[in-house]
Chain A
Amino acid sequence: MSNIDLTAAVVPLKTPRLERQIFEVRAMKSLALTALTWAAAILASIPLFSVIYMLVVQGGARLDWEALSALPPAGFEMGGGFGNAIVGTLVMVAIATALSVPVGILAALYLAIIGPQSKISEVARFFAKVLTGFPSILAGVFAYATVVLWMGSYSAWAGGIALAVLMLPTVTLAAEEAMKQVPQRMKDAAFGMGCTRSQVIWKVVLPTGMSGILTGVILAVAGAAGESAPLLFTALFSNYYLTELAEPTASLSILIYNFSGMPFENQIELAWAASLVLVLIVLVFNILARVLGRPRY
C-alpha cells in the first residue's frame, strides 16, 4: 500500500472550455440582471433630468438681468422679475443659518463629547432624529404660533425661525457624526500634550471635524433654501424689496407657487425662470459643500 500509483495523475485532463458561453443559464441570468439594474438606474434619473431639461428650456428663455433684479409684475403687466424674492430667500436662509448653526454645533458637542452616554443625550438624539422627518409645514405652524402671533405680523424673522427649526436637527446630527469621526488617539495625543478638555475641543476636535461639519451645514442650507411650506404663513410674500426684517418677505419658492397658478403667460414664464434660479442656488450650495467639505490634511 505504500506504493501509491502516481501514473493516474499524469493522465491528461480533457481540455477545459474557458471561452464565454453566452447561452449558458448562469450567463443569461447575469445578463438579464445587469440589464435590469441599468433600466432601474435610468428610470430613477428620468425625473431629475426631465425636470432640469424643462427648467433650462422653459426658464432659461426668460433668465436675464431684468428677471433677476426687477420687482414682480402685476396682473396684465409685461416684463418684471423676482429680484426681491432672491434677496428674501437669501436673507431668510441667512437668519436660519445664524440661528441653527451655533445651537446645532453646541448641541453636537454635548452629544459627541461631553455626555455621549447620558440620558439627556439619548433623549436629545432621539428627538433630533424625529425632527429630521418632521413635516416641514409644521415648522411653519410652530413659527406662526410663536413668532407671527407674538409680533402681530408676517415677517422675515418668522420665516427664518421656521427654516431654522428645520435645519437644526440636520446640522446637529451631521456635526455630531463629524466630531465622532475624530479618532480617540488624536484626542489622547492632545490630552497627553497637556490640553484641557476645552482646548482638546477647540484645537483638535473642531478643526479635525470641520470639513464634515461644513458639509452638514451647507446641505441643511440647501434644503432650507428650497422650502416653501414653512414660509407660507410665516414670511408670506411681498411685492417689494425687503426694507425691514419685521415685514412680510418675498421668497423664490412662494413666488413660484403663486405665479405658476396664474392665468398670465408672463407670470408663468417668470415662475419657470425663478425655478431655474432656485435650482442653481441649491446647486451652488451643494458644490460649496463638496469643495469646503474636502479634508485639508
Chain B
Amino acid sequence: MNAIAEAAVPVAASYKPAGQVVIDCHVKSIHYGKFHAVRDSIVPIEKNRITGFIGPSGCGKSTVLRSLNRMNDLVDGFRFDGHVHYHSKDIYAKKVDPVVVRRYIGMVFQQPNPFSMSIYDNVAFGLRLNRYKGDLDERVEKALRSAALWEEVKNKLRNSGLSLSGGQQQRLCIARAIATEPDVLLMDEPCSALDPIATRQVEELMLELKEHYTVALVTHNMQQATRVADTTAFFSVDISGGGRTGYLVEMGPTREIFEAPREKLTRDYISGQFS
C-alpha cells in the first residue's frame, strides 16, 4: 500500500494490553457505501479502564467506537470487515442480534438526548425494556446517584427530562445508560455540548464509573484524554489513496502517548503541529 499504512499496523499491534481485554476490535476496513472510512486498526478495550480515542476530524474514531455496539448498522451502506470479539464472541457473527449487543454495550451520545418523558421514566426506560422485576424506584435512584444527579433532581422526578440544563441532561443520559448495568459504556464526545463546569462533573463521573464499568471515550479535547483516559488510541487520516481513510496510528498508556509518542504523526498532533 504505502509507507504510512505499513508503519501504522505494526505500531498499533505492538500495544500489549496489561489488563483483561473486554472488547478486542480488529478492523480490516469499514466502508460507508463506496467511501472507505477506516482501515487496519486494532483497538483492544480493557476492563475497568477508560480508553480514549483521539485524532483529527474524519479520522474514523467515532466510526470505530460506534462499530463496537453495532450502532453503525443503522447507517445505510455500512460494511464492516474484520471482527470485534466481545468476551471472545464475535459481535459481527451472523447469528448475533445487534439489539442484544446494545443491551450489554451501552452508549452516551455527543448531544444529550433524553426522551421526551419524565426524568424517572427516562432512567427506568431500559429497565422496563428488559422487563425488570425488582424495585424500579430503588434502581432509578441508584442510577441517578451513580450519575451524580440524584441531589439535583430527587424532588422533581416527574418533571420532563428536557427541562434540565445541558449538563444535567447529559448526566441523565448517563444514568439512563447505566441503569441497566451494562458491561461497557461507549461515550461519543459526551462533553462537546457542555460548558467547562458540566464537563468537569461528567469527567469526575467517568472516573467513578470505571470502578464498575469499562469505558471507551471519543474526545476532541486532548486535555480531557490526559485527565481521564488510562489508555489512549491516536487515529489519523490517510489522504494518500485519494480518499480520506482513517486508521489507528498509535495506541498505548496515556502518559506514553502524550509524553513519549513513538510516531512523528502523534507527536505533531499532540504538540499542535498538524499539516
Counting CB contacts under 8 A, is B167 at the interface? Answer: no
Decide yes or no: A193 and B129 within 8 Å by CB, A188-B71, A188-B109 being known contacts.
Answer: yes
Q: Give Cα A190–Cα B163 distance, bound, in whole angstroms.
A: 19
Are A195 and B99 closer than 8 Å at their CB atoms? yes
Are B103 and A194 closer than 8 Å at their CB atoms? yes
Decide yes or no: A193 and B113 within 8 Å by CB, A203-B125, A297-B160 being known contacts.
Answer: no
Closest chain A residue to B117 by CB distance? A297
Counting CB contacts under 8 A, is A34 at the interface? Answer: no
Counting CB contacts under 8 A, is B74 at the interface? Answer: yes
Are A191 and B129 closer than 8 Å at their CB atoms? no
Are A192 and B118 closer than 8 Å at their CB atoms? no
B contacts with A, residue count (CB < 8 A): 30
Are B115 and A186 closer than 8 Å at their CB atoms? yes
B212 CB, nearest partner CB in chain A, Å: 18
The number of chain A residues touching the other chain, given as a range, is 20 to 34
Closest chain A residue to B121 by CB distance? A297
Q: Give Cα A45–Cα B266 distance, bound, in whole angstroms.
A: 70
Q: Give Cα A179–Cα B245 distance, bound, in whole angstroms.
A: 35
Is chain A's binding surface mostly helix, strand, loop or mixed? helix
Q: Which residues of B lie under 8 Å from residue A295 when comparing CB positions?
A: 116
Are B116 and A192 closer than 8 Å at their CB atoms? no
Are B115 and A185 closer than 8 Å at their CB atoms? no
Q: Which residues of A lie under 8 Å from residue B101 when comparing CB positions?
A: 194
Are B102 and A194 closer than 8 Å at their CB atoms? yes
Q: Give Cα A208–Cα B177 distance, bound, in whole angstroms.
A: 20
- Kindly identify which residue among B117, B163, B180 contacts A207, using a CB–CB cutoff of 8 Å: B117
Which A176-229 residues have C-beta < 8 A from chain B?
183, 185-186, 188-196, 199, 203-204, 207-208
Q: Which residues of B lie under 8 Å from residue A193 when comparing CB positions?
A: 102-103, 106, 125-126, 129, 176-177, 180
Q: Give Cα A183–Cα B71 distance, bound, in whole angstroms.
A: 17
Counting CB contacts under 8 A, is B161 at the interface? Answer: yes
Which A276-297 residues have C-beta < 8 A from chain B?
295-297
Are A297 and B118 closer than 8 Å at their CB atoms? yes
Closest chain A residue to B119 by CB distance? A297
- Kindly identify which residue among A191, A204, A207, A208 contacts B102, using a CB–CB cutoff of 8 Å: A191
A202 CB, nearest partner CB in chain B, Å: 11
A94 CB, nearest partner CB in chain B, Å: 30
B176 CB, nearest partner CB in chain A, Å: 7
Closest chain A residue to B176 by CB distance? A193
Decide yes or no: A194 and B129 within 8 Å by CB, A188-B113, A189-B173 being known contacts.
Answer: yes
Q: Give Cα A193–Cα B114 distance, bound, in whole angstroms.
A: 12
Counting CB contacts under 8 A, is B62 at the interface? Answer: no
Q: Which residues of A lie under 8 Å from residue B74 when comparing CB positions?
A: 188, 191
Q: Give Cα A278–Cα B221 distance, bound, in whole angstroms.
A: 63
Q: Give Cα A204–Cα B176 distance, bound, in whole angstroms.
A: 14
A215 CB, nearest partner CB in chain B, Å: 16
Closest chain B residue to A184 by CB distance? B113
- Kindly identify which residue among B99, B116, B163 contacts A186, using a CB–CB cutoff of 8 Å: B116
Q: Which residues of A lie under 8 Å from residue B102 when comparing CB positions?
A: 191-194
- Kindly identify which residue among A189, A204, A297 contacts B162, using a CB–CB cutoff of 8 Å: A297
Decide yes or no: A190 and B100 within 8 Å by CB, A195-B129, A199-B129, A297-B161 being known contacts.
Answer: no
With most chain B CB atoms within 10 A of its CB, the pick from A189, A190, A192, A203 is A192
Q: Which residues of B lie under 8 Å from residue A192 when comparing CB positions?
A: 69, 71, 102, 106-107, 109, 177
Are A297 and B71 closer than 8 Å at their CB atoms? no
Q: Which residues of A lie under 8 Å from residue B109 when comparing CB positions?
A: 185, 188-189, 192
Are A183 and B113 closer than 8 Å at their CB atoms? yes
Q: Which residues of B lie under 8 Å from residue A188 when comparing CB positions?
A: 71, 74, 109, 113
Q: Which residues of B lie under 8 Å from residue A195 when comparing CB positions?
A: 99, 129
B117 CB, nearest partner CB in chain A, Å: 6
Counting CB contacts under 8 A, is B111 at the interface? Answer: yes
Closest chain B residue to A295 by CB distance? B116
- B interface, CB within 8 angstroms of A: 69, 71, 74, 99-103, 106-107, 109, 111, 113-118, 125-126, 129-130, 160-163, 173, 176-177, 180
6 examples of A-B residue contacts, CB within 8 angstroms = A192-B109, A194-B99, A194-B103, A199-B129, A204-B115, A297-B161
For the complex with contacts A194-B126, A203-B125, 19 further pairs of A-B residues with Cβ separation under 8 Å are A183-B113, A185-B109, A185-B113, A188-B71, A188-B109, A189-B115, A189-B176, A191-B71, A191-B74, A192-B69, A192-B106, A192-B107, A193-B176, A193-B180, A194-B99, A194-B101, A297-B160, A297-B162, A297-B163
Report the 4 A-B pairs with minimum CB-CB distance, sorted nearest first.
Answer: A194-B103, A297-B160, A192-B107, A185-B113
